[in-house]
Structure 1
Amino acid sequence: MEGPAAPKRSHRLTREALRDGFVHEMIARSGINLPVLSDAERHASLQATLATQPAPGDVWLFGYGSLIWNPAFHHVEQKPVLIRGWHREFCLSTPIGRGTPEAPGLVLGLDRGGSCRGVAFRIARAEAEAELELVWRREMVTGAYVPRWVRLHGPDLPEDTFGIAFTINRKAPNYVRSASEADTARVIATACGALGSCRDYLFDTIHGLEGFGIHDHHLNRIARQVRVHRS
């Protein structure tokens, strides 16, 4: 079912799987030669990000895709927010998670320009390093993303509230320039990998956003074309 009443799916990226190195094992089993960050590089990236937190206190994390419907980290609050200067786009080719080397899939990144509505998660500062370590094991695997602090805009947030967002690394080998919605839909309609189908990823993201009252017209147009391809 791919409508508003679609059942909640189980996901392979659980806390336990992330803690046990599931993502790295998945890449190793694939036999694909992908550049993977070492534990030391990943740890250094997390520490460098926390060291530049604009203000002390709890840590906010901005979710725009799968973090919304499968966060897999502990948080004390979540709310819809807006960020400016970045937009949600299917700009990352994936030959493993949601695709194969023969038929790569597409997943979301934050690319430059525009704005994006998503969900901000507040993580207690005392737990931030441990919880973000799980997030880094999930997002900072191949260096396809650049973590950075972005200003969060919301009706009940102080003006100078910042959160971590995983923006796309345009120098990454699997970064792809924005394609037409029709071309994107053709890929999403058929691509499938170790973590499931691109189609499920798209609809889970749409449903997750709608749960917070967010309607992404770009994603909805792609979804309509995906349904046509699947019919």
Structure 2
Amino acid sequence: MSDERWVFGYGSLMWRPGFDFVERKPATLHGRKRAFCIYSVHHRGTYERPGLVLGLAPGGATRGMAYRVDEAAWPEVYAYLVEREQPTETYMEARRAVRLADGRRAEALVFLSDVRHPQWAGALGLERQAELIAGASGLSGRNVDYLRDLVDHLREEGVRDLGMETLLGLVEQRELAGG
């Protein structure tokens, strides 16, 4: 691996990075899985009615997107990412090896879920996740819209995440049933 600056995204960073980059490649991170494992008490829920947001939970593998950032732009991009991803410090900044779709390996900046943080929800079953997401809403809107946006964008990127698709179906059923 070289001294290049890479960032790995597994959620909204995949389709809305918010920074300039010189290269964008599908990539896989091993050892972590995309999961609704963090309680949201601001953006997609409240303290009274928490929702859930994505994190990278231990185990499995995650298909996402890697971005190579120009060295001169790195300080600004890094500051932006810390501000975007760390408002409540529910994520831990780390550098991890990712496998790019073209076969190369790169070391990327990634934000992992902090399992010791009070907002860590852990490995909730799909029914419990659906219960929390259905009806939850916060400063950034309805929790189900966040999940739907994720599934739609993953499909656009050619990523089929059956767990997320199943979860969306369960949430939609609950919302149709009124809760």
Mark yes or no: TM-score above 0.5: yes
5+ unaligned residues in a row in structure 2: which ranges? none
Separation in 2, partners of 1:77, 1:209: 19
* Aligned partner letter, 2:67: F
Asked which structure has the greater CA Rg, the reply is 1
Aligned to 1:34: none
Of the candidates 9, 26, 32, which is equivalent to residue 63 of structure 1? 9
Moved over 2 A (4+): none
Residue 167 (1) aligns with residue 112 (2): yes
Residue-by-residue CA offset, 1:97-151 (whole Å, 9 max, x unaligned): 1111110110011111111111112211110110121111011122211111111
Aligned to 1:227: 172
Offset of residue 155 of structure 1? 3.5
2:44–2:52 CA contact under 8 A, matched in 1: yes
Secondary structure of 1:117's aligned partner: strand
Give the TM-score, by structure 1 length: 0.73
Aligned to 1:197: 142
Offset of residue 157 of structure 1? 4.2
Percentage identity across paired residues of the two chains: 32
Pairwise CA RMSD: 1.4
Higher-helix-fraction structure: 1
Offset of residue 60 of structure 1? 1.1
Superposed, 1:32-181 pairs within 5 Å as 55-57=2-4, 59-159=5-105, 161-181=106-126
Higher-strand-fraction structure: 2
* Aligned partner letter, 2:159: I
